[in-house]
A and B are shown apart, each in its own frame.
Chain A
């Protein structure tokens, strides 16, 4: 890399101009993203006081000790991992299936395509109320339907029961986010040259063989990146989980309740955030090396 003072005057002017243009963004990101990440780690070693004038108390690793010996934390940790696994796999399977279906021409495709984007586009708060309505115990239409099919009891409260809330939340996440996967996969599908399939037809390949030997390899990197993106996003997911059912105790919910409800324990919450961040970083680096082979 060339150093700034070695540049020609014209290039210097250009470089200064570039920095000037990007500086508002850099300052904002530095001040409100990078600095808070570091400040968060700092806070995790303190008992944070929100009373003005009372300084934070340094407690060393106390917050981490408290956290790692708390069974609720480990429970949340497990739920989070399961939630990420189910939602990533589920939304990719659903998105892939529907993308394959929508890749064919049929009358009314335009309308169906627009409709498919609805869950992704509609605000979380609206769709959450709709799902809570259909899943109401006793009265909810979906509850009644499921009990008529003999799948479950009509009195069962799916949403607010801590034992199964996370299943509902996972299902909701798949429903809400599959359109994103579907869009990405569909656009990749449409760029696969048709002659691959024609050649396979001539060789007498059947549908499954074509899918296995042409479509899937072409989709490898898209799906690989989607797993990464959705994995990251679902790991941190707060709104979609909390608003539908705060009984689904994933780590972000645990953090929120520690930090902002009851007696705030910001230091412990900062420790949770740090753990979340570190786990995420480790998972990402392993994944990027092993699966995406960057």
Chain B
């Protein structure tokens, strides 16, 4: 080994580039976090460190504190007093008006968060289960037409979501899956499964091939069924790949905007995070601090998930066969 002493300039340049990389990567995140700890009125104060740090944005988003929008204005409170003298029916009417106008202005972050969690989680789980059996089939079992199946799964890479948006929308309108929030969410559930299924199968298939077949054969000789060996041998041994695929599929559902905006736009109760946040962003102004807090809360679950399995993730990604 030839040992060469690194010159001072080289070391300096090296650290300079490392610093550049860190700034390049972290710049927008730094502001996102910083602004999320400010009051809306301080959102554009210069500097990264907030002068009057506050947790109020987070508390409001998480429903721990009433936002100004939810608090009654003085006018409304006076109205409430007047209401007490009104007859029952009229009072109901006015109350409903007040409530509906307030609901329109509120920021149901937790609701959207829950919707996203439900949709992304369920579709990733379903895709994983179907994917495990599918991948096992084309990586371990021989049958005529297997190559066709493998190639077909790869071919699906060439079809982007945008291309499917028109025919799928038309299709789901015709089946009648777009006429309520619930059915539209079901349509999204199916779409998220098919968007993640090819990659689940491909990644899992690659992983299954690395498990020695002799382990399985031993179990088969001991009288285990094929399904039994999948459950007791393949699945436990593939846990790293399975977790990676789940998180990957989860991310796709968590990020998805195209289909969500097409299908659930008319049903605010069914909004997922991307659709909800974008609607809020364009409908109200001067909510920068709250938008940033919401962005942090949207990012944290996935970043934490990824970081805990970073090692597996890197291996899974680089094993080839990744789809966004």
Contacts and interface: CB of A to CB of B under 8 A. Distances in A.
Contacts of A208: none
A134 interface: yes
B197 A25 contact: yes
A187 B162 CA distance: 31
B25 A123 contact: no
Contacts, number: 259
Nearest to A11: B142
Contacts of B255: 123-125, 239
Interface string A97-113: 01001001010000010
Nearest to A207: B10
A141 interface: yes
B139 to A, nearest CB: 10
B310 to A, nearest CB: 6
Interface in A152-199: 175, 180, 183-184, 187, 198
B136 to A, nearest CB: 6
B134 A21 contact: yes
B82 to A, nearest CB: 41
Interface in B145-194: 145-146, 149, 152-153, 156-171, 173, 190-191, 193-194
Contacts of A117: 306, 310
Contacts of B143: 14-16, 18-19
B25 A255 contact: no
A15 B142 contact: yes
Interface residues of A, number: 89
Contacts of B193: 28
Nearest to B148: A1
Given A130-B31, A133-B292, A184-B317, A276 B163 contact: yes
Contact of A198 (B1, B25, B288): B1
A259 interface: yes
A201 interface: yes
B298 interface: yes
Contacts of A233: 160, 324
Contacts of A184: 317-318
A187 B169 contact: no
User: Which of B28, B138, B168, B291 has the most CB atoms of chain A within a 10 A radius of its CB?
Assistant: B28
A21 B163 contact: no
Interface string A21-62: 110111011001111110110010000101000000000000
Interface residues of B, number: 89
A146 interface: no
B203 interface: no
A14 B14 contact: no
A36 B167 contact: yes
Nearest to A242: B257
Contacts of A74: none
A19 B137 contact: yes
User: Which of A2, A33, A243 has the most CB atoms of chain B within a 10 A radius of its CB?
Assistant: A33
B158 A280 contact: yes
Interface stretch (A65-73, A81-89, A212-220, A265-273): A265-273
- The 6 A-B pairs of least Cβ separation, nearest first, read A236-B160, A18-B141, A15-B143, A25-B134, A126-B295, A130-B28
Given A239-B257, A266-B169, 4 more contacts: A28-B130, A39-B171, A106-B14, A123-B273
16 contacts: A4-B144, A18-B138, A18-B142, A19-B143, A26-B134, A28-B130, A37-B163, A39-B171, A101-B17, A101-B18, A121-B251, A123-B302, A127-B32, A141-B46, A184-B318, A276-B163
